[in-house]
Structure 1
Amino acid sequence: MKIFLTTMCFLFLVTSFSSLADVLAKADLVIVYKSKATLELIKKGKVIKSYHIAMGDYPKNHKIKEGDERTPQGRYILDYKKSDSDFYRAIHISYPNDADILAANALNVSPGGQIMIHGQSPNSTISPREQQRYNWTNGCIAVTNSEMDEIWQLVDTGTPIELWP
């Protein structure tokens, strides 16, 4: 019986530390599902964290031009972090890419830019959780400040991000 209990405790600890290691591991991919309003941090094909997000007022379809309040779709890179963002902290998405610029030029419009994952609006009169119930950004991806702290720790610059419809 003693050996059985020792074995069970050992297995519990190994399983717990394995799960903890997965959570503490840096993400190697970020995926945004616009239709589900979720952002997932992925490590070796497994979801290690998932967050509810707010986006622009018009989240459907791909961003076409500056001011359309759409969130882009496609594969980009998280190319730099901004610790002094107007929205707490922010991680920049490498939008627009060459294809986005070409498409905007064909329409004779600016593709826009400065699309980021960021925290809450400091000017809001409603709670952070309440803010997340609405699409309020200009095309960025918003999470709560505490969630932004987690993402900040788990995502390095250079990490790819895929934004899906």
Structure 2
Amino acid sequence: MATVLRGTKVVEQFEHVAFGRGGVSPLRLKGRDKTPLGEFRITRVNQNSPFHIFLGIDYPRLEHIDRARKRGLISDAEYKRSIDHGARHGEFPQDGPLGGYIGFHGIGDGDPDVHDNFHWTQGCIALTNDQIETFESLVAVGTPVRIE
């Protein structure tokens, strides 16, 4: 379920959301199809997505990069590349070992039955096309989101 709040008031709830095929995890690695858990912000909106609408989040964040380095999942060189990229571009690389391009999206021309019965994404949170339209109308770039 996905819930939109204004303060502590529930504005909208969405049932039958799909997560990554690999489940959820506090630290997502590229290619593992897991949805990252944590606090994020909406960073971009693509209304011409193959998934109908895509609302990207700021994954990975500094805490993910730090955690990956401490666990030996990324090298010191990759850590430095990520930090340098973040300083230059205002966001961390989307193509590194932690992956990226994570967000909320619709199903596009996908099968609604698959969506209703399986967690099918590569790490994103999928809603139906109608749900993502409603979701987009309730959030904006900069809106905080929590995935739990």
Query: TM-score if structure 1 supplies the norm length?
Result: 0.70
Q: What is the letter of the counterpart of residue 105 of structure 2?
A: H
**Number of the residue aligned with 1:97:** 61
1:131, distance to aligned residue in structure 2 (A): 1.7
> Unpaired segments of 5 or more residues in structure 2?
76-96
> Unpaired segments of 5 or more residues in structure 1?
1-37
**Number of the residue aligned with 1:42:** 5
Aligned ranges 1:46-125 → 2 under 5 Å: 46-52=9-15, 53-105=17-69, 106-108=72-74, 110-122=97-109, 124=110
Q: Alpha carbon RMSD of aligned pairs, Å? A: 1.6
Q: Secondary structure at the match of 1:132?
A: helix
Structure having the higher Rg: 1
CA change 1:69–1:63 in 2 (3 A) is farther
Paired with 1:70 and 1:63, the residues of 2 have a C-alpha distance of 8
Tell me if 1:142 matches 2:126.
Answer: yes
The number of equivalent residue pairs is 124
1:101, distance to aligned residue in structure 2 (A): 1.6
Structure ranking higher on relative contact order (CA contacts 8 Å, 6+ apart):
2
Query: TM-score if structure 2 supplies the norm length?
Result: 0.77
1:163, distance to aligned residue in structure 2 (A): 1.2
Paired with 2:98 and 2:7, the residues of 1 have a C-alpha distance of 33
Task: Please say if residues 108 and 129 of structure 2, whose CA atoms lie closer than 8 Å, have aligned partners that are also in contact.
Answer: no
Q: What is the letter of the counterpart of residue 119 of structure 1?
A: G
Q: Secondary structure at the match of 1:78?
A: strand
Runs (4+) of structure 1 moved beyond 3 Å? none
Could you tell me the percent identity over the aligned residues?
Answer: 28
Paired with 1:129 and 1:147, the residues of 2 have a C-alpha distance of 15
Task: Please say if residues 24 and 37 of structure 2, whose CA atoms lie closer than 8 Å, have aligned partners that are also in contact.
Answer: no
1:104, distance to aligned residue in structure 2 (A): 2.9
1:129, distance to aligned residue in structure 2 (A): 5.0
How big is each residue's C-alpha offset from its partner over 1:97-128, in whole Å with a ceiling of 9 and x where there is no partner?
A: 01112233431271100001000042x3x3x2
1:58, distance to aligned residue in structure 2 (A): 1.8
